[in-house]
A and B are shown apart, each in its own frame.
Chain A
Amino acid sequence: MILEARDISKEFKIEQGMFKSEAGRTLALDKVSFVLDEFTTLGVVGESGSGKTTLAKILLGLVPASSGEIVFNDKFIKDFRKDVQIIFQNPYNSLDPKMRIKDALYEPLLIHNILPRRSFRLKATELLNRVGLDESALERYPVQFSGGQRQRICIARAIACEPKLLVLDEPISSLDLTIQAKLLELFLELKREFNLTYIFISHNLCVIKYIADKVMVMHQGRVIEEASSSEIFASPSQEYTRELLEAAK
């Protein structure tokens, strides 16, 4: 076990008018619990608004949970900020447009003090090569790359500090199907190579079937079904899961 989530709930205020008076509350996550085993991929599926991204943000500590707790196994997660990384859906706004690619890649190396400064360039080149880009990318800016290439850069940046757990929030949804297939292969390779554990969030069941070992189906902030990938796809127990499967056919 690398991570355990216990009864995570998240309430958002609905604000109204000029003074942002509280008009109501919405429960984005309702007592979400799960256990994540090391070196596995947990697929999180659900339609938009089901709470997938809120869950990802809470796991990363980017937003606080209203209640519940997240327990990381110290044996695997020694330094939380370094060991848990995230890749977002839209590579167009997760790279700073004014930063050269090399600076984007140097930043995690610098912050986490991974190696001496003189080795940065070599390491950054290695990372780029690993995700299928070459050294010439270092001096360029994000705008000079296509969506698929940008997502590759985000992947390089995420694995720069050798994390243990990678949260992938719809990492390929905004890309072409051909590019999606190539990036999925890359994720599988990296997982083997760096002994990674993934939480893979997607609304696309085909993608989840391809990559996940275990699947968690979310609906309106709740986990309605959780089972091994083969079980979910062969015999879903919930009506909503069946609907999702039907739609993907």
Chain B
Amino acid sequence: MEKLLEVKNLKVDFQLDDRVIHAVDGVDLRLDKNETVVLAGESGSGKTITALALTRILPRNARIVSGEVLLEGKNILDLEERQLSLIRGARIAYIFQEPTSYLNPVYTIGEQITEVIILHQDKLRKVAQVQAKKLLEAVQIGEVNRVFSSYPHQLSGGMNQRVFIAMSLACKPGLLICDEPTTSLDVTIEAQILKLLIRLKKEMGFSLLFITHNLAIANKIASRIYVMYQGKIVEEGLTAKIFNDPQHFHTKELITAYQKIGKL
């Protein structure tokens, strides 16, 4: 398998008033092309901060202390801000938990998707608009024209998540990072969104880094699992191996919870 992303010894600190917190404490990750990998762990374990550090979009009081993020062999943490901004969104895209709060409330859906395409691909507005509508079709939005001219608050959470996926995929990224994308949604909608992501991945051929506290999702989509606990990767392996023979106590905790209430 061809390697897409490699993270080596990533460390992120948070500077608080009276102390320093090691939120990410020496994380190593690897992701092949077209692979789906799950990063699992409880809240506060450092999953999200790891994901944000990959393209340096961290909160103000966070600092990357050490580590390398190699995208196709090139360390992107060394890049200047302007060069890195060409990678964000274009080659590494994100989907977050609360789509409604990540979309701009004062612009229509159409304007927001079009903007991404113009910015990264330098297309004429008319061309970008046609492309944006095609993307909305690809994420299975029924009434494309209505949604195109709607504002985020006029759409449901599940619908906004589809819009967000369309926007993330606008520039055909090589890596899509999904941070708990279905946690705030109903089970029925969650199942639809997961199916959609799997189908799009097959069609467009990107790698998926999926962050979740729910191993049920890992069992459905991932080939490998990383388990994170208190800023460290405490266990990694093929999905089947993790489920059949967990080593770390937190992995066992996650699996117990999954067996109890993660599946029917």
Residues of A within 8 A of B (CB): 47-48, 146-147, 176-181, 184, 203-207, 209-210, 233, 243-249
Contacts and interface: CB of A to CB of B under 8 A. Distances in A.
Interface stretch (B1-9, B110-118, B145-153, B251-259): B251-259
Given A176-B213, A179-B42, A181-B256, A244 B187 contact: yes
A173 to B, nearest CB: 9
B261 A245 contact: no
Contacts of B257: 177-178, 180-181
Contacts, number: 67
Contacts of A248: 187, 191, 263-264
A249 B261 contact: no
4 smallest A-B Cβ distances: which pairs? A181-B257, A247-B191, A247-B188, A176-B213
A245 B215 contact: no
12 contacts: A176-B42, A177-B258, A180-B261, A181-B256, A181-B257, A181-B261, A204-B187, A206-B262, A206-B264, A207-B261, A233-B264, A247-B190
Contact of A206 (B189, B253, B261): B261
B264 A181 contact: no
A54 to B, nearest CB: 16
A91 to B, nearest CB: 13
A69 B253 CA distance: 44
A114 B236 CA distance: 53
Nearest to B43: A176
Interface string B21-57: 0000000000000000000001110000000000000
Given A178-B42, A179-B42, A205 B213 contact: no
Interface string B86-128: 0000000000000000000000000000000000000000000
Contacts of A204: 187, 261
A247 B213 contact: no
B214 interface: yes
A249 B264 contact: yes
A147 B43 contact: yes
Contact of A203 (B157, B186, B215, B216): B186
A178 B254 contact: yes
Nearest to B217: A177
Given A203-B186, A244-B187, A248-B187, A178 B253 contact: yes
Interface string B223-247: 0000000000000000000000000
B264 to A, nearest CB: 5
Interface in B203-219: 213-216
A81 B254 CA distance: 38
Of the listed residues B186, B189, B192, B215, the one surrounded by the most CB atoms of chain A closer than 10 A to its CB is B186
B264 A177 contact: no
A147 B183 CA distance: 15
A179 B192 CA distance: 25
B11 to A, nearest CB: 24
B260 interface: yes
Given A203-B187, A205-B187, A248-B264, 17 more contacts: A146-B43, A177-B214, A177-B215, A177-B257, A178-B42, A181-B256, A181-B257, A204-B187, A206-B261, A206-B263, A209-B264, A210-B261, A244-B187, A244-B188, A247-B187, A247-B188, A247-B191
Contacts of B188: 47, 243-244, 247
Nearest to A148: B43
A43 to B, nearest CB: 13
Contacts of A181: 256-257, 260-261
Contacts of A176: 42-43, 213
A243 B192 CA distance: 12
Contacts of A249: 263-264
Nearest to B45: A176
Nearest to A203: B186
B187 A177 contact: no
Nearest to B215: A177
Contacts of B258: 177
A181 B257 CA distance: 5
A170 to B, nearest CB: 11
Residue picked from A184, A243, A245, A247, most chain B C-beta under 10 Å? A247
A164 to B, nearest CB: 26
